[in-house]
Structure 1
Amino acid sequence: MESSVEEEISVEDEAVDKSSFKRCNQIDFYRRQKRLCPGKSSYRAFMDTVELSNRSVKFQIINEECKVPLLVELYEIEGNIFRLQVNEIAPLKPRYQVSDVLIKEPASLRLTILQKDASELVLACSNEDQQLHITANPFQMQLVSKDEIVLSMNTNDLLYFEHLQHPPQIRKSTLQEKADGSADSFKGYQEDLGLWEDKFGSFLDIKASGPSSVGLDFSLHGYEHVYGIPQHAEPLLLKNTSDDDVYRLYNLDVFGYKIHSKMGIYGSVPLLLAHKPGRTIAVFWLNSSETLLEIATKAAVEEQSSSALFTSTAELSRTPDLSKQRVLPQTDVRWMSESGIIDTFILMGPHPFDVFKQYAQLTGTQSLPPLFSLGYHQCRWNYEDENDVKEVDAGFDKFNIPYDVIWLDIEHTDGKRYFTWDKKKFCNPDRMQKELMKKKRKLVVIVDPHIKADPQYAIYLQAKEKGYFVKDRTGRDFEGICWPGLSSYLDFTSPDVREWYADQFAFKNYKDSSEILFVWNDMNEPSVFRGIELTMQKDAVHHGGWEHREVHNLYGFYQQMATAEGLIRRNGGLERPFVLTRSFFAGSQRYGAVWTGDNKADWSYLKISIPMLLTISVAGISFCGADVGGFIGNPDPELLVRWYQVGALQPFFRGHANRNTRRREPWLFGKENTKIIREAIKERYSLLPYLYSLFYRVHIAAEPVMRPVWVEFPKELKTFSIEDEYMLGNALLVYPVTEPKATTVSVFLPGSQEIWYDFRRFIQLEGQGTLKIPVTLNSIPVIQRGGTVIPLKTSVEKSTEWMADVPYELHAALDYKEYATGELYLDDGHSFRYLHEKQFLLRKFTFHENVFSSRCADENGQFHSKCVVEQILILGLKKQPSSVIARIHDKKVKAVAFTYDAKSSVLTLKKLSLNVSIDWDIEIKVRS
């Protein structure tokens, strides 16, 4: 079995076979929803059913055609969030509602009724500037803020809700009786039966609950720039869609995915952000079934009204006063999901960072990773044996290249049986890990969700006996083909399965594993080689009797959750886990890192990786990266060098390659290229204090580590579509070189009053707007923003753990007011003591009025470090200093040694030896 599978999947380096995956017009619920006609709504609301409570407002709506009543619930949630839920009042059985993604049930505020009659309901919100307007016929809603309609729902009358029905075999006799055997009725019966079955190729999907799709349209008033909904190999700024070319959120194993395609790939986050100067909002569509999204941006005519807060929808639709009209952009978005309920959140911002915090309030923030995981990771499918691992590890030392983690792919196991070791190739894994441990390095191994169907395999035998596998529609264990051959798939939607799975990582169960072993979850879309669209049948059955169609996009989310819990539990809850997952959903940020999957060694994939990672980042998952060099194919040396340079300045930094590629460890491309790659990796390690501090910020405040330029410059229209450069935190602007043989690049420097400095040469860049900057192969443009302080390490060692006591260097880049500020976060780098025992340190550095100060930024922190600040560079100081004095706790100490470069206006303070844990000031006296 294994050999035939290996042959089947050995065809590499080919473009994705799109015929294996559905086009939109082959998706049955999409075809049904597309039959709706805009402007002809079937839904009306009954205002006499309105119920007001401290928690929500409820009322009923009805579809005039099928006469099935639905319950609408409206909530205002603390933090400027609104929630809309629509569900059947009396379904034949419960409809699926997403669990475990929200970190808690959101706290609600009380809405009050301002106006209610048979045609309209107006609700006042806790923010006096905001109201909700609901009209009865047709049923529509508007969210009004400060005399402006921000967002409206069902504007185009595309609300869609398929109610659950009895199976056709129950209804057949009734139909035939009514028709007295007429041909028309029997044809109707056949059409009805078709709604319960769906064919794609040789696959038949039987829908136990029948058709149950939902949909709703939103109009975003004044917005023409929308972002989000990862994961697609598409630009940062989302494009208008067309029939049969819409954004698909359906997690799929797509080998060598096609660039500029809206087809679903490995992950799904149904979060869409809209931005305009002065406001950012977002729509979070909480549905884990297959979801499609249409986008249409257009110019819309709106009538200005100073009394918009008290103007009904009916009045807004009257004959317009042309003198009061204005033309504004408007983006219409339409969500369509195969099943579940309508459960959507409106995040009202108004600022980008407000939206990030609101989304994190619902789904959680990025987990704080262990420090080692921010270092460089070396991976390949596959390092062949223990000797191969030893030689690669030694190569990094020989060529003086730091790294933290070496990875093992599927070949390290005993016949693709996870939690095992190949007895010949890895006969002494305990010794191998101890050798890595001596060098303060880590090991990551792959653990996929499919389990080899082998009665002699303990994991399989236990799971089968306990009934822990996903079932097929007949009640037997679902079986499919993946790396081991015939496999069954663990049902991670079950809490019992997750509990049992977490226990498998215990040292007593996972033989020859150690505390330096961490985990990579791959193939967890889930991937099924001979399955429909290379994944699991939608009519497979999970815990609770839910069909796979309901939970598909959650499968990888649940595996990563269970894996992270297992790594935490094996050490008694003391140590932070590291888990990389390929498949993800909203909330995956709580459990670790993601990457962009099977990319190619091609310049176009390097280029598209930037908007892909920015999109993932604004959707809440900051710990993300792309395989350096491209997983598929052989990069030429220039491409590999450029990929290392940008990968070193992104959140997750891993080199990875397919088994059919040539070896590409960093020292295999000649002396000069080795030197350049070494410098890129070393720069990453010198920047780890800044990166770790950024991860602390995203952990506590949901501020993305890697962010689009518009996030930092939300009023500057030119930044809204920029995707070839990005901000790393608020201080560094990075411009990757993504074209071969480039000698210059055009970098846009935003902000009319901003000052920008070359990060490496410390000189101020002259000019504003787009600058042509010369480049060589040695580096890519990295530019520090004036007004910021960046902490760095003064030297780089073999791995992060070797660098704990290496002194710090601070780079303060002054703005036009000669001011700068920045942070440094410190803890032990690996445990949860920062959380449970407040063992952390947060320092704030400020340069103001010629005084550089260090102050505690969080008095709760109890961590103390021996580390010192050894050197400070102050960029943009225009006057020659006459003397520099350092004070600790207001106590005068000896004068500070310094040099001043008048040409570049850089002051360097040397040999400081100022402890990073305590308060101090450095006074700079300048010559008048």
Structure 2
Amino acid sequence: MLFSDVVLQPAPALTWRTIGGILDLYIFLGPDPGSVIGEYLEVVGKPAMPPYWALGYHLCRWGYDSSNNTWDVVRAMRNYGIPQDVQWNDIDYMDRALDFTIDPVKFSTLPDLVKDLHIHNQRYVMILDPGISSTQPAGSYLPFEEGIKQGIFINKSSGDTLIGKVWPGLTAFPDFSNPDTHEWWYQNLKKFHDKVPFDGLWIDMNEPSNFFDGSIDGCPSNDLENPPYTPGVLGGSLRAKTVCASARQKITSHYNLHNLFGLMEAKASASALKKILGKRPFVISRSTFPSQGVHSGHWLGDNRSKWKDLYMSIPGMLTFNLLGIPLVGADICGFSDTTTEELCVRWTQLGAFYPFTRNHNTKESKAQDPTVFSPAAQTAMKEALLLRYSLFPFLYTLFHHAHLSGQTVARPLFFEFPTDQKTYVIDKQFLWGKSLLVTPVLDPGVDYVVGYLPQGLWYDFYTGDSIVSKGEEVKLRAPLDKINVHLREGSIIPTQRPNTTLWVSSGQPLRLIVCLTEEGLAEGDLFWDDGEALDTYETDQYAYITFRLKESTMTSEVVHSHLEASYITVETVSFYGVKSTPTSVTVNSQEAAFNYAANQVRGPIRFWINGWDYKAEKENEIQWDN
């Protein structure tokens, strides 16, 4: 059962209309919302651990027009000191929109650009569409000719290759339900990687999308094409802007596999990247299906440069986290139309807290990378991205827990406060994990935002100032250069000194932020590995450290370590919520210098964690006396 309508009734109830198939119903009992998601992911599969650089800032545009223009944007980002880990290209890099090709004139320097990115510890991602051109002269386009010989394309019900139309013109569609197609896909990617050593794949148009309805010849009239009930799909028919439902694939009709197309392509793409790179694959897909997070992330499609789309990206991001696809985000500043400077600043601030953060727009719009705006806007965007990069250890640890136990990375407030009914309707704020609350500005022309703080003690991320909430709305200052972030009592957040790439940032010392409860308690953790090797948790190639505060004593314990795990330096520990000036602070019983200000102790407290040497000590301790 793949074609259906699902309608939410006010009772509350669901009406499920399906046009056939087998219904297997799973009921996940929780008891809490997070447990429901974890149980669901036990069935469909937990998300993959992304490579570390996937969590940096990505920049793309359909309309760079040349590799040199793309390169100019990368250089400008570097000159302004704005963080960027990944540069992308849309279909304009291709020769006549043909997969596995580059425009020999406009993008002739693309290999040099990619080499330069790698020298600067940056990465490159390119788009691929599943439509393979079928009209090139004999001997000139091997992906199609080899595909025909190997029988890897979707066929019409008559057995002939189904021909549709996408960007390169008339096209055939790979049948990713066929294992031979996976090998064909890998071989073509490998040959292209030998020319342009890309680091990840962006798979688009994979519903599959078709500019025809069905095929160049239409579709036959039968029960698959004309079921007794048609769900509310685009165009009112199953063939509208896709391939025929009666088309034949390796294992069954397209009718039974349509919604699986993007998932199967993502699986083939991730598998190919593992073979080519020998590292964690990075794939972003438009089409998704349950278990997609095992193989790829997702972006929320072609949005617009509108304030409404800025707001709607939050429920979209949260929804895909619930579905086990935590590596998700919207096109920052909007894909179509032209953004305003204010909107782009606010969107960059929100986008800094998407699990996957990419600025992307269309060729019909003006450029919107941070360097094209005023100095004030550039500074605001830069500061938002540096804030994200400073939070990388915390974010990376959240992805580890998503991979290990199916937790969400970005989550709605009701996940952490299920007994607070006010949180059930909040879709303009969200949490990272259980501890970090983001309250973005979503309206034009304002310098404040009204946010809801659930009951408890909350700390301003920047200052450590505390707010005791009874479960109430609070008016927060929000000038154009600020996004409001609050930390929940009882949490210990690992941060680090940020830089312009995560390769550099991840080598910087840690800065721990300890948020005391009224009883003086807090806890947190850190997962750390080399950031790109396959299966580091499964093969014990990682470090895992817990932090706990109790009775004015904070301890750190290496729960797991490995000789190959990078050593970790803790440079500064800030305690939010200490009510009086300590008379002394010690680190491992040695006196340490400190500074005290309202609600926080901040000072040059340092300790080292270094593989097996640290494991032998097992524990470090910071203690203060009042």
Settle same-fold status: TM greater than 0.5. yes
Give the whole-Å Cα distance in 2 for the aligned partners of 1:822 and 1:842.
11
Quote how far apart the aligned CAs of 1:497 are: 1.2
Quote how far apart the aligned CAs of 1:766 are: 4.2
Q: Which residue is 1:290 aligned to? A: 3
Contact 2:68 2:109 in 1 (8 A): no
Contact 2:530 2:565 in 1 (8 A): no
Give the whole-Å Cα distance in 2 for the aligned partners of 1:597 and 1:711.
26
Matched, 1:494 2:193: no
Q: Percent of pairs identical after alignment?
A: 31
Q: Which residue is 2:508 aligned to? A: 806
Q: Deviations over 1:739-762 (max 9, x none)?
A: 1012332211113xx210111121
SS in 1 for 2:332: coil
Instruction: Give the letter for the 1:292 counterpart.
Output: D
Distance 1:497 1:372, change over 3 A: same
Give the alignment of 1:87-486 within 5 angstroms.
Answer: 287=1, 289-298=2-11, 331-453=12-134, 454=136, 455=138, 456-486=140-170
Instruction: Give the letter for the 1:480 counterpart.
Output: G
Matched, 1:908 2:602: yes
Contact 1:789 1:845 in 2 (8 A): yes
Matched, 1:685 2:369: no
Match of 2:245 among 538, 562, 574: 538
Give the whole-Å Cα distance in 1 for the aligned partners of 2:171 and 2:183.
21
Give the whole-Å Cα distance in 2 for the aligned partners of 1:502 and 1:364.
23
Match of 1:896 among 569, 592, 596: 592
Give the whole-Å Cα distance in 2 for the aligned partners of 1:358 and 1:504.
38
Quote how far apart the aligned CAs of 1:389 are: 2.2
Give the whole-Å Cα distance in 1 for the aligned partners of 2:584 and 2:508.
27
Quote how far apart the aligned CAs of 1:861 are: 5.1
Give the whole-Å Cα distance in 2 for the aligned partners of 1:865 and 1:509.
33
Q: Which residue is 1:599 aligned to? A: 303
Give the alignment of 1:540-619 within 5 angstroms.
Answer: 540-544=247-251, 546-571=252-277, 574-619=278-323
Quote how far apart the aligned CAs of 1:396 are: 1.0
Quote how far apart the aligned CAs of 1:535 are: 1.6
Quote how far apart the aligned CAs of 1:860 are: 6.6
Q: Which residue is 1:666 aligned to? A: 370
Q: Deviations over 1:480-537 (max 9, x none)?
A: 111001111111122221232123222x4544132x5311000101110122432222
Does 1 or 2 have the higher relative contact order (CA < 8 Å, sep 6+)?
2
Q: Deviations over 1:436-485 (max 9, x none)?
A: 11101110011111101124211011111111111122221111111001
Q: Which residue is 2:220 aligned to? A: none
Match of 1:784 among 469, 477, 487: 487
Give the alignment of 1:709-858 within 5 angstroms.
Answer: 709-751=413-455, 754-768=456-470, 769-794=472-497, 796-832=498-534, 834-835=536-537, 837-857=539-559
Give the whole-Å Cα distance in 2 for the aligned partners of 1:846 and 1:398.
41
Quote how far apart the aligned CAs of 1:825 are: 0.8
Q: Which residue is 2:236 aligned to? A: none
RMSD: 1.6
Q: Which residue is 1:924 aligned to? A: 623
Matched, 1:524 2:206: yes
SS in 2 for 1:419: coil
Q: Which residue is 1:34 aligned to? A: none
Give the whole-Å Cα distance in 1 for the aligned partners of 2:171 and 2:20.
27
Give the whole-Å Cα distance in 2 for the aligned partners of 1:923 and 1:799.
31
Instruction: Give the letter for the 2:201 counterpart.
Output: V
Give the whole-Å Cα distance in 2 for the aligned partners of 1:403 and 1:660.
24
SS in 2 for 1:667: helix
Q: Which residue is 1:274 aligned to? A: none
Hey, which bits of structure 1, 4+ residues long, moved more than 4 A?
A: 860-863
Q: Deviations over 1:409-436 (max 9, x none)?
A: 1111111111111111222433222111
Contact 1:557 1:584 in 2 (8 A): yes
Q: Deviations over 1:58-87 (max 9, x none)?
A: xxxxxxxxxxxxxxxxxxxxxxxxxxxxxx
Give the whole-Å Cα distance in 2 for the aligned partners of 1:840 and 1:356.
26
Give the whole-Å Cα distance in 1 for the aligned partners of 2:30 and 2:538.
31
Contact 2:544 2:561 in 1 (8 A): no
The size of the alignment, in residue pairs, is: 592
Contact 1:522 1:582 in 2 (8 A): yes
Quote how far apart the aligned CAs of 1:862 are: 5.2
Quote how far apart the aligned CAs of 1:767 are: 3.6
Distance 1:423 1:600, change over 3 A: same
Contact 2:331 2:360 in 1 (8 A): yes
Give the whole-Å Cα distance in 2 for the aligned partners of 1:526 and 1:824.
40
SS in 2 for 1:444: strand
Contact 1:884 1:922 in 2 (8 A): no
Contact 2:454 2:469 in 1 (8 A): no
Match of 1:872 among 573, 590, 596: 573
Give the whole-Å Cα distance in 2 for the aligned partners of 1:526 and 1:743.
44
Rg larger in structure: 1
Contact 2:201 2:283 in 1 (8 A): yes
SS in 2 for 1:401: coil
Q: Deviations over 1:517-558 (max 9, x none)?
A: 3110001011101224322221222112x2222111110111
Instruction: Give the letter for the 1:336 counterpart.
Output: R
Quote how far apart the aligned CAs of 1:605 are: 0.4
Instruction: Give the letter for the 1:810 counterpart.
Output: L
Give the whole-Å Cα distance in 2 for the aligned partners of 1:598 and 1:509.
27
Instruction: Give the letter for the 1:629 counterpart.
Output: C
SS in 2 for 1:690: helix
Q: Deviations over 1:330-367 (max 9, x none)?
A: x2212222232122211122222221121111111110
Give the whole-Å Cα distance in 1 for the aligned partners of 2:514 and 2:537.
30
Q: Deviations over 1:166-197 (max 9, x none)?
A: xxxxxxxxxxxxxxxxxxxxxxxxxxxxxxxx
Quote how far apart the aligned CAs of 1:653 are: 0.2
SS in 2 for 1:765: strand
Distance 1:389 1:484, change over 3 A: same
Distance 1:589 1:833, change over 3 A: closer
SS in 2 for 1:534: coil
Distance 1:467 1:377, change over 3 A: same
Contact 1:793 1:806 in 2 (8 A): yes
Give the whole-Å Cα distance in 2 for the aligned partners of 1:856 and 1:381.
46
Q: Deviations over 1:853-885 (max 9, x none)?
A: 11123x375543333000000000112111111
Give the whole-Å Cα distance in 2 for the aligned partners of 1:833 and 1:520.
22
Matched, 1:513 2:196: yes
Q: Deviations over 1:387-420 (max 9, x none)?
A: 1122111111110101000001111111111111
Q: Deviations over 1:553-578 (max 9, x none)?
A: 1101111110010000113xx30010
SS in 2 for 1:691: helix
Instruction: Give the letter for the 1:543 counterpart.
Output: K
Instruction: Give the letter for the 1:419 counterpart.
Output: F
SS in 1 for 2:388: helix
Q: Deviations over 1:250-298 (max 9, x none)?
A: xxxxxxxxxxxxxxxxxxxxxxxxxxxxxxxxxxxxx4x2121122232
Contact 1:420 1:510 in 2 (8 A): no
Contact 2:527 2:543 in 1 (8 A): yes
Gaps of 5+ in 1: 1-286, 299-330
Instruction: Give the letter for the 2:473 counterpart.
Output: T
Relative to its length, the structure with more helix (as a share) is: 2
Match of 2:331 among 627, 633, 650: 627
Alignment TM-score, normalising by the size of structure 1: 0.62
Instruction: Give the letter for the 1:405 counterpart.
Output: V
Q: Which residue is 2:216 aligned to? A: none
